[in-house]
Structure 1
Amino acid sequence: MENYHLKNNSEEKQYELHIDGSFGRIEYILAKNKIYLTHTEVPKELEGKGIASAMVKKALEDIERKNLDLVPMCPFVAAYIKRHPEWKKLVLKGINIQ
């Protein structure tokens, strides 16, 4: 997944990862210096290949570069951060990841 580029489609308010004519996405809401990741979706034909995890990792790298506070509303994103606690540093203070 490292050779694929995650595109921030700010017009559609989503990160997109295009692969073989399909694309996965992470929808978000951007408000001042906070980003709310609301929904992660991967097409059926790409499921089970680590695409969603790769997208979340690349999105978190972008969020870190932009110095935004993260509010992980999407259960998949929250679960990813729980499995990779090094990313908890991005989560808005006071938000508890379940």
Structure 2
Amino acid sequence: MNRVHDNRSEQEFEITVDGHRAVAAYQLEGDTIVFTHTLVPAEIEGRGVASKLIRSALDSARDHGLKVVPQCRFVRAYIDKHPEVQDLLA
């Protein structure tokens, strides 16, 4: 699977798998990153793409000292299932 890229100009973490682009959109608000939605094309669903995308995004938030607001249901569910990232919550 390809690497996750932080496309800062579009405020999206993105990954391309088999020619299909998945994104986790965000907004930076000071020292907080608000994840607004995650989009994975049907062609690559069920392959762990969204989980890899969100894990990389949360790792980046930690690396940059940001707190996380998970407006996106998928990001909220991911954080709920992974106690090791719950300290990132704003």
TM-score bucket (shorter structure): over 0.9
Partner of 2:42: 44
Partner of 1:96: none
Query: Unpaired segments of 5 or more residues in structure 2?
Result: none
Which has the larger Rg?
Answer: 1
For 1:39 and 1:91, locate their aligned partners in 2 and report how far apart those are by CA, in whole Å.
16
Q: TM-score, normalised by structure 2?
A: 0.95
The Cα offsets for residues 53-83 of structure 1, whole Å up to 9 and x where unpaired, read as 1111111111100010110110000000111
Aligned CA RMSD, in angstroms, stands at 0.8
Q: TM-score, normalised by structure 1?
A: 0.88
- The list of structure 1 runs, each at least 4 consecutive aligned residues, that deviate by more than 6 angstroms after superposition, is none
The Cα offsets for residues 32-67 of structure 1, whole Å up to 9 and x where unpaired, read as 111000100101100011110111111111110001
Partner of 1:54: 52
